[in-house]
Amino acid sequence: MKIVINGISANLRFSSAHIIPTHDFCGCIHGHSYFVDVEIEGEQSGAFDFVIDFKDVKKSVRKICKEHDHKLLIPIFNSNIKFEFTGEDINFDFFEDKEYVEFNINGKEYRIPKIDTVLLPLKHSSAEELAKYFTELLIKDISPKENISSVAIGVNEGIGQGAFFKMNLI
Ligand SMILES: [Zn+2]
Protein backbone atom coordinates (compact mmCIF):
# COMPACT_ATOMS: atom_id res chain seq x y z
CA MET A 1 0.00 0.00 0.00
CA LYS A 2 1.18 3.52 -0.71
CA ILE A 3 0.02 6.82 0.71
CA VAL A 4 0.57 9.96 -1.37
CA ILE A 5 0.53 13.56 -0.20
CA ASN A 6 0.36 16.21 -2.88
CA GLY A 7 2.36 19.25 -1.81
CA ILE A 8 0.22 21.81 -3.62
CA SER A 9 -3.10 20.48 -2.34
CA ALA A 10 -1.80 19.89 1.19
CA ASN A 11 0.01 23.25 1.22
CA LEU A 12 3.48 21.82 1.84
CA ARG A 13 5.32 24.74 0.33
CA PHE A 14 8.17 27.13 0.89
CA SER A 15 9.72 29.97 -1.06
CA SER A 16 13.48 30.31 -1.02
CA ALA A 17 16.41 31.72 -2.90
CA HIS A 18 19.44 29.77 -3.97
CA ILE A 19 22.42 29.77 -6.31
CA ILE A 20 23.81 26.95 -8.44
CA PRO A 21 27.45 28.12 -8.59
CA THR A 22 29.07 28.16 -12.06
CA HIS A 23 25.81 27.27 -13.81
CA ASP A 24 25.35 29.73 -16.69
CA PHE A 25 21.69 30.47 -15.97
CA CYS A 26 21.20 29.48 -12.31
CA GLY A 27 24.53 30.91 -11.09
CA CYS A 28 22.86 34.16 -9.98
CA ILE A 29 20.70 34.39 -6.85
CA HIS A 30 17.16 33.48 -7.83
CA GLY A 31 14.15 31.96 -6.15
CA HIS A 32 11.56 29.23 -6.41
CA SER A 33 8.14 28.62 -4.93
CA TYR A 34 8.85 25.05 -3.93
CA PHE A 35 6.31 22.42 -3.00
CA VAL A 36 7.01 19.04 -1.47
CA ASP A 37 5.27 15.79 -2.40
CA VAL A 38 5.48 12.70 -0.20
CA GLU A 39 4.96 9.01 -0.90
CA ILE A 40 5.21 6.41 1.85
CA GLU A 41 4.89 2.67 1.20
CA GLY A 42 4.20 -0.04 3.70
CA GLU A 43 1.76 -2.49 5.20
CA GLN A 44 -1.40 -1.25 6.87
CA SER A 45 -1.20 -1.66 10.63
CA GLY A 46 -2.40 -0.46 14.00
CA ALA A 47 -5.87 0.30 15.33
CA PHE A 48 -6.92 2.19 12.18
CA ASP A 49 -5.17 0.05 9.55
CA PHE A 50 -3.19 3.09 8.41
CA VAL A 51 0.12 2.88 6.60
CA ILE A 52 0.97 6.02 8.55
CA ASP A 53 -1.15 8.88 9.84
CA PHE A 54 -1.30 11.64 7.19
CA LYS A 55 -1.48 14.20 9.96
CA ASP A 56 1.90 13.20 11.42
CA VAL A 57 3.59 13.28 8.01
CA LYS A 58 2.13 16.65 7.06
CA LYS A 59 3.10 18.14 10.40
CA SER A 60 6.69 17.01 9.94
CA VAL A 61 7.00 18.15 6.31
CA ARG A 62 5.42 21.48 7.21
CA LYS A 63 8.09 21.96 9.85
CA ILE A 64 10.80 21.23 7.27
CA CYS A 65 9.20 23.70 4.83
CA LYS A 66 9.00 26.38 7.51
CA GLU A 67 12.67 25.96 8.42
CA HIS A 68 13.65 26.68 4.80
CA ASP A 69 11.05 29.32 3.97
CA HIS A 70 12.08 32.86 2.93
CA LYS A 71 15.80 32.17 3.26
CA LEU A 72 18.83 31.95 1.05
CA LEU A 73 19.84 28.28 0.91
CA ILE A 74 23.62 27.88 1.08
CA PRO A 75 25.17 24.43 0.60
CA ILE A 76 28.33 24.73 2.68
CA PHE A 77 30.12 21.76 1.06
CA ASN A 78 30.02 23.24 -2.45
CA SER A 79 33.61 23.48 -3.67
CA ASN A 80 32.86 26.62 -5.69
CA ILE A 81 31.60 28.55 -2.68
CA LYS A 82 34.67 29.94 -0.93
CA PHE A 83 34.05 31.06 2.61
CA GLU A 84 36.44 33.23 4.60
CA PHE A 85 38.20 30.34 6.11
CA THR A 86 41.57 29.49 7.50
CA GLY A 87 42.23 25.87 6.79
CA GLU A 88 40.51 22.80 8.11
CA ASP A 89 37.51 21.32 6.36
CA ILE A 90 34.48 23.56 6.43
CA ASN A 91 31.92 22.72 9.10
CA PHE A 92 29.07 24.31 10.98
CA ASP A 93 31.30 25.39 13.88
CA PHE A 94 32.90 27.91 11.55
CA PHE A 95 29.61 29.83 11.28
CA GLU A 96 28.61 29.52 14.93
CA ASP A 97 29.51 33.02 16.16
CA LYS A 98 29.14 34.78 12.82
CA GLU A 99 26.50 37.44 12.24
CA TYR A 100 27.10 37.38 8.50
CA VAL A 101 27.84 34.59 6.04
CA GLU A 102 30.56 35.82 3.70
CA PHE A 103 31.60 33.96 0.61
CA ASN A 104 33.00 34.31 -2.86
CA ILE A 105 31.90 32.49 -6.00
CA ASN A 106 34.20 32.95 -8.96
CA GLY A 107 35.17 36.45 -7.83
CA LYS A 108 31.64 37.54 -6.88
CA GLU A 109 31.56 38.61 -3.22
CA TYR A 110 28.53 37.94 -1.04
CA ARG A 111 27.79 39.11 2.51
CA ILE A 112 24.44 37.92 3.80
CA PRO A 113 23.03 38.23 7.34
CA LYS A 114 23.14 34.71 8.77
CA ILE A 115 19.55 35.08 9.94
CA ASP A 116 18.52 35.31 6.25
CA THR A 117 20.20 32.01 5.38
CA VAL A 118 19.88 28.29 5.87
CA LEU A 119 23.25 26.59 5.87
CA LEU A 120 22.83 23.15 4.34
CA PRO A 121 25.13 20.14 4.91
CA LEU A 122 25.09 19.58 1.14
CA LYS A 123 27.18 20.12 -1.98
CA HIS A 124 24.30 21.63 -3.94
CA SER A 125 20.94 23.26 -3.25
CA SER A 126 19.46 21.57 -6.32
CA ALA A 127 16.02 19.92 -6.21
CA GLU A 128 17.82 16.56 -6.31
CA GLU A 129 19.94 17.22 -3.22
CA LEU A 130 17.06 18.87 -1.36
CA ALA A 131 14.86 15.83 -2.06
CA LYS A 132 17.50 13.50 -0.57
CA TYR A 133 18.10 15.78 2.41
CA PHE A 134 14.41 16.29 3.18
CA THR A 135 13.82 12.53 2.98
CA GLU A 136 16.50 12.04 5.63
CA LEU A 137 15.02 14.82 7.79
CA LEU A 138 11.53 13.37 7.48
CA ILE A 139 12.65 9.86 8.41
CA LYS A 140 14.54 11.21 11.40
CA ASP A 141 11.50 13.18 12.51
CA ILE A 142 8.75 10.58 12.10
CA SER A 143 10.81 7.49 13.11
CA PRO A 144 8.85 5.14 10.81
CA LYS A 145 7.51 1.97 12.39
CA GLU A 146 8.42 -1.50 11.10
CA ASN A 147 5.44 -1.60 8.70
CA ILE A 148 6.94 1.19 6.56
CA SER A 149 9.05 -0.04 3.63
CA SER A 150 9.98 3.22 1.89
CA VAL A 151 9.77 6.97 2.21
CA ALA A 152 10.01 9.23 -0.84
CA ILE A 153 10.01 12.99 -1.19
CA GLY A 154 9.63 15.10 -4.29
CA VAL A 155 10.99 18.62 -4.17
CA ASN A 156 9.42 20.68 -6.94
CA GLU A 157 10.92 24.00 -8.04
CA GLY A 158 7.58 24.82 -9.61
CA ILE A 159 4.83 23.01 -11.42
CA GLY A 160 6.25 20.39 -13.76
CA GLN A 161 9.83 20.47 -12.50
CA GLY A 162 10.99 18.46 -9.53
CA ALA A 163 13.22 15.70 -8.21
CA PHE A 164 12.00 12.60 -6.39
CA PHE A 165 14.14 10.59 -3.99
CA LYS A 166 13.04 7.31 -2.47
CA MET A 167 14.71 5.66 0.49
CA ASN A 168 14.01 1.99 1.07
CA LEU A 169 13.90 1.10 4.74
CA ILE A 170 13.87 -2.69 4.42
ZN1 LIG B 1 17.02 27.40 -9.04
pLDDT in tens, 71-117: 999 999 999 999 976 555 678 888 999 999 999 999 999 999 999 99
Give me the pLDDT at residue 140, please. Answer: 97
Tell me which of 32, 41, 68, 157 is the catalytic residue: 157
The rounded distance, in Å, linking the Cα atoms of 100 and 112 is 5
The rounded distance, in Å, linking the Cα atoms of 158 and 88 is 37
Judge whether residue 8 has pLDDT over 80: yes
How far is ligand 1, taken at its centre, from the CA of residue 123, in Å? 14
Q: How crowded is residue 125: how many other Cβ atoms within 10 Å of its Cβ?
A: 25
The rounded distance, in Å, linking the Cα atoms of 102 and 84 is 6
Is 157 labeled as catalytic in the residue annotation?
yes
How far is ligand 1, taken at its centre, from the CA of residue 15, in Å? 11
Tell me which of 30, 70, 84, 146 is the catalytic residue: 70
Q: Quick one: average pLDDT of 127-151? A: 97
How far is ligand 1, taken at its centre, from the CA of residue 49, in Å? 40
How far is ligand 1, taken at its centre, from the CA of residue 125, in Å? 8
Is 26 labeled as catalytic in the residue annotation?
yes
Amino acid, res. 160 = G
Q: How confident is the model at residue 9 (pLDDT cuts 50, 70, 90)?
A: very high
End-to-end CA distance of the chain, in Å?
15
Is 28 labeled as catalytic in the residue annotation?
no
User: Which CATH number applies to 2-160?
Assistant: 3.30.479.10
Judge whether residue 137 has pLDDT over 80: yes
How far is ligand 1, taken at its centre, from the CA of residue 158, in Å? 10
Judge whether residue 156 has pLDDT over 70: yes
Q: What is the DSSP letter of 27?
A: T
The pTM (predicted TM-score) of the whole model is 0.95
Per-residue pLDDT reduced to its tens digit, 17-75: 999 999 999 999 999 999 999 999 999 999 999 999 999 999 999 999 999 999 999 99
Tell me which of 26, 39, 128, 136 is the catalytic residue: 26
